[in-house]
Chains A and B, each alone.
Chain A
Amino acid sequence: MTEPSNLSTYVLRLADDAMVLGQRISEWTSNSPNLEEDIANSNVALDYLGRARMLYAYAATMLNTTEDELAFMRDARQYTNLLMHELPKGDYAFSTVRQFFIDSFDVLYFEQLVNSSDAQLAAIAAKTLKECRYHVRRSRDLMVRLGDGTEESHTRMQTALNELWGYRHELFMDDELETELQQQGIAITRTDLQQAWDAAINDCLAEATLSIPETDWTVTGGRAGVHSEHLGHMLDDMQCLHRSYPGVTW
């Protein structure tokens, strides 16, 4: 592998985000509330995994390696996804709220990234943006249905909201590396997106009869490889087979 550049590190971050969330969503396959939801979840997971592949493949050309090497041979400490993406799927409420948070963010993010001065990233963003716009339509719809459904569904949704609330800050943090890339017109300024995201969330929560959590908190560390305890276990399962037979083709 060649030495990472700012750009390859950045692409890898976005790839890791898509990878771990895609893996999580795929856990709903054959476990969803009905066949319709099952099929829809698989569609979303396929979009994320497809995005991960495009980004890993791009990073791999810069790093002189392969997409699978990047996905399967790095440990949890080397993964740089934002924490929200890696959390276990939880109940349907938890997965729905997480999905809505991330979909809402992704739409804003990729709307900007299509203008990246890096042509490859801009192209990936254009494809991703179409997917995100569909995802958010579906996850927002579910937010309202489950938030304003039964007493049980409302309680579960509010609980999920409370449990995820403190992870949102990480979505909007720019570090030195991304700031440098922003100056070159490659990356997006995350802090700039917060206001629009807040508005989208508030608007939806009101319609879903859910409340903004009373207590706020902040957990970060994903970009530095300091993850929840869950990521390691997820990667064990995901990477085990690939690592057990080094150097072969599948």
Chain B
Amino acid sequence: MSDPSLILFEVFVRSNRGLDHQHVGSVYASDHEQALVNARDVYIRRGEGVSIWVVKTDDIVASQESDVDTFYDPMDDKAYRHAMSYPMPEGVKNI
């Protein structure tokens, strides 16, 4: 088995100008240049994209589920940051 020596890359595709890149999956390649070409051949067979990013999977640092308490919950009690928490008098327009 000689595959492990190829490197896993995560692929992000912008489907149309004006939209964010979205994660679509991964490909194996020996370096970034090849990853880009492979991603083009694998993930936009139907013309699904106008721009591709590839990132080494190992280079992605992800938060852990155990971080939820400290990372996200404190951010979830600030109702005043959402427009919905400000009831508007009936009849007010364009706000």
A and B touch in the complex (CB under 8 A): yes
A positions within 8 Å CB-CB of B: 34-36, 39-40, 43, 137-138, 141, 145
The 0/1 profile, CB within 8 Å of A marked 1, for residues 34-56 of chain B is: 10011001100100000000000
The reply to whether B38 and A40 contact each other, CB–CB distance below 8 Å, is yes
List chain A residues, Cβ under 8 A from B3. Answer: 34
The reply to whether A36 and B30 contact each other, CB–CB distance below 8 Å, is no
Residue of chain A at shortest CB distance from B44? A43
- Other-chain residue from A39, A137, A138, A141 in contact with B42 (beta carbon distance below 8 A): A39
The smallest C-beta distance from A207 to any residue of chain B, in angstroms, reads 13
Q: How many residues of B contact A (CB 8 A)?
A: 13
The smallest C-beta distance from B11 to any residue of chain A, in angstroms, reads 11
Residue of chain B at shortest CB distance from A44? B41
The reply to whether A39 and B45 contact each other, CB–CB distance below 8 Å, is yes
Bound complex: CA A137 to CA B38 (Å) = 12
List chain A residues, Cβ under 8 A from B42. Answer: 35-36, 39-40
Q: Does B13 contact A (CB under 8 A)?
A: no
List chain A residues, Cβ under 8 A from B45. Answer: 39, 43
List chain B residues, Cβ under 8 A from A43. Answer: 41, 45
> Which 3 A-B residue pairs are closest in the complex by CB-CB distance?
A40-B41, A36-B38, A39-B41
List chain A residues, Cβ under 8 A from B33. Answer: 141
Residue of chain A at shortest CB distance from B3? A34
